Structure 1
Amino acid sequence: MVEASGLKSGMVIMLEGELHIVASAGYHAGGGQHGSAVFAKLKNLKTGHIKELRLRPSDKLEEVALDHQEMEYLYTDGVGFYFMNPETFEQISFTAETMGAYQKFLRPSMRIPVQLYEGEPVTIAFPPAVELTIVSTPPGMHEHETSTFKAATLDNGMEVLVPQFIKEGDTVRIEVASGKYLERVRRGTQKS
């Protein structure tokens, strides 16, 4: 059990018999006739619905520990996204609603931690950033080398704004939550 005042983003709790992940939680000190409160946004892991709750700081909630199993992404048939346990070859699937914005970042053979509750898959623990390759982008303008951005198409079909010095073939790191450019990935050259 965890007190409402101890809720943190990313925690998984059991509420009304269903698993929810804490999207955000904030403590607000009370004043006058209003006592202090914790305002939390919880996302139902099965339906994706968001609940907003106002809790007393001392309210107790059931925290759930999820098991992690690295699985390999196989394919999608438009309805489900299929993953395989590389050790047992057991396959599981997630709906498009569960995958959400992560869909566009999946690549065949990509290994991703899947979170399980009592042996059943619940959600995936997608990395905060992924590396993708620039497929097309116009040449950079030298006078605007770092202060302006230009459009670029990534190998997953997404368009993103990148700095002027980025060119076709470069590998860039993209933030999954926002879909924004973070940095260029430099590959070290090794001498033998």
Structure 2
Amino acid sequence: MISSNDFRTGVSIELDGSVWRVVEFLHVKPGKGSAFVRTKLKNVQSGSVVERTFRAGETVPQANLEKRVMQHTYKDGDQFVFMDMESYEEASLSQEQIGTRVKYLKEGMEVNVIQWGEQVLEVELPTSVVLEVTQTDPGVKGDTATGGSKPAIVETGAQVMVPLFISEGERIKVDTRNDSYLGRE
């Protein structure tokens, strides 16, 4: 159990049979009446966001989430197979379970898999990955009217905007949170 006074951004709680993550919180102490905590909660399974108010000191069950380090071993059709690095058990996850960042997933990459009981809630990729540029147009000197960047396709099939001097075959570092180019590797 966790008190509403202990809510912080990122804390996971159980409400109505689902796992909710605190996105925003605000402790309010009105001049008249008792204090309360106004929160914005995101359902981890469905992604829906709701606003909910709790009385100050109200206790709610804290979600018992387990974070396991797993390695992506191979892709089997539309299923991605991961191996637990401690027990060597394999688990198959669909593209929907992994989310939009699947475009940066490479074989052999270690990720954090967050589970609630036996249910996989999300897959956390590293914040940055090193990928090889497989296709990009050659940069033309003086062609900076577009801000000095061009699209490039990396080895996983994702498209990233890169500077004009990047050419095919180079390895670049990409931020998986916002799809941005971080530098050469």
Give the TM-score normalised by structure 2.
0.77
* Structure 1 residues 164 and 19: CA distance shift in structure 2, 3 A: same
Per-residue deviation, 1:123: 2.8
Q: Deviation string for 1:38-58 (max 9, x for gaps)?
A: 23131233xx24131221362
Cα RMSD between the aligned structures? 3.1
Per-residue deviation, 1:71: 1.3
Mapped partners of 2:148, 2:27: distance in 1: 40
CA contact under 8 A between 1:145 and 1:164: conserved in structure 2? no
Partner of 1:39: 39
Mapped partners of 1:40, 1:71: distance in 2: 31
* Structure 1 residues 148 and 61: CA distance shift in structure 2, 3 A: farther
> 1:43-122 alignment to 2 at 5 Å?
43-45=43-45, 48-56=46-54, 58=56, 59-73=58-72, 74-78=74-78, 80-118=79-117, 121-122=120-121
Counterpart secondary structure, 2:103: helix
Report which stretch shifted further, 31-40 or 84-93: 31-40
CA contact under 8 A between 1:83 and 1:91: conserved in structure 2? yes
Partner of 1:18: 18
| Structure 1 position 128 matched with structure 2 position 127 | yes
Counterpart secondary structure, 1:63: coil
CA contact under 8 A between 2:67 and 2:112: conserved in structure 1? yes
Partner of 1:190: none
Per-residue deviation, 1:82: 2.0
Q: Deviation string for 1:15-56 (max 9, x for gaps)?
A: 11222334x2142758799986523131233xx241312213
Aligned residues between the structures = 181
